[in-house]
Amino acid sequence: MKSITIQGTKRESVGKKSTKALRDAELVPCVVYGGAEPLSFSTEEKSFKNLVYTPEAHTVSIEVDGQTIPAVLQDIQFHPITDRILHVDFYQLSEDKPVIMEVPVRIIGRAKGVVAGGVLRQSFRKLKVKAIPANLPDEIVVDVTPLKIGNKLYVEALKNDSYIFMHPDNAVVAAVKMSRNAMKGGAAADDDDEEHTEHASEEASAE
């Protein structure tokens, strides 16, 4: 998985006054958990541009006072009106310790049901997975080609030995729903199948 670097400064004071002063200076208070003890630091808001405002998933390399900490984003708080970042929590990575994070879902293929006039509905843009850092995927690729009208693709079908999904097996990732044109398209597809079968039978008889 790709990683981005965030430069920070250790926070000696973590009170309300100190936090307000940081925000007034357009800095974001942050905490890294998962180590021997939590580490509080601050960084510029623009540091999160390539971490938060992107559909891609990344791990983070946090550099604070000469110390480098590998981590993943755990939680982020936004201002309810301005959408400015108010606070960020990270979780420190260890090579042999599983971590949970959200990974984007990428749909590939054109569902048979869509060809017949149905509509593809994607229920998840991201899925939570649990894995050791080395096995964290950049994305979850979902091939919807086999889906016909009325079919659903469940999390269970995406199981992988490298990571565990933090969703029920019966959670629907994508489905093809009926549309106004689906009946007509489905009927046409059935006619084509019947015609193909008849031709195949005639050819077999001729042989």
- Where is average pLDDT lowest: 23-27, 79-83, 129-133, 159-163? 23-27
Looking at residue 188, what is its pLDDT?
52
What is the extent of the structural domain holding 169?
101-202
Same domain as 151, residue 71: no
* 136 and 49 in a common domain: no
113 and 189 fall within a common domain:
yes
- The span from the CA of 103 to the CA of 174, in Å, is 16
Strands across the sheet with 172-177, in order?
Answer: 119-122, 172-177, 152-154
In a domain, 29, yes or no: yes
73 and 112 together in one domain: no
In a domain, 207, yes or no: no
Between the alpha carbon of residue 178 and those of residues 16, 121, 170, the distances in Å are 54, 11, 21
Q: Does residue 138 lie in a domain region?
A: yes
Q: Which of 32, 63, 93 is the last residue of a domain?
A: 93
| 61 plus 111 within the same structural domain | no
pLDDT, tens digit, 9 for 90 and up, residues 145-176? 999 999 999 999 999 999 999 999 999 999 99
Residue of higher predicted confidence among 23 and 62? 62
Who wins on pLDDT, 34 or 186? 34
Mean pLDDT of 102-113: 94
Average pLDDT over every residue of 26-52? 89
- Among 7-16, 55-64, 85-94, 191-200, whose mean pLDDT is lowest? 191-200
pLDDT band at 183 (very low <50, low <70, confident <90, very high): low
Q: Which residue has the tokens 């400064």?
A: 9
CB 155 within 8 A of CB 103: no
* 69 part of a folded domain: yes
User: What pLDDT does residue 181 have?
Assistant: 59
Widest CA span of the chain, in angstroms?
90
Same domain, 57 and 9: yes
- In this structure, the answer to whether residues 189 and 106 fall within a common structural domain is yes
49: pLDDT strictly greater than 60? yes
Number of domains in the chain: 2
Between 20 and 142, residue with greater pLDDT:
142
The CATH number of residue 73's host domain is: 2.40.240.10
Where is the domain boundary, 39, 72, 93? 93
Q: Read off the pLDDT band of 184 (50, 70, 90).
A: low
Domain identity same for 15 and 65: yes
Q: Work out the pLDDT band at 17, boundaries 50, 70, 90.
A: confident
Rounded average pLDDT over 24-32? 89
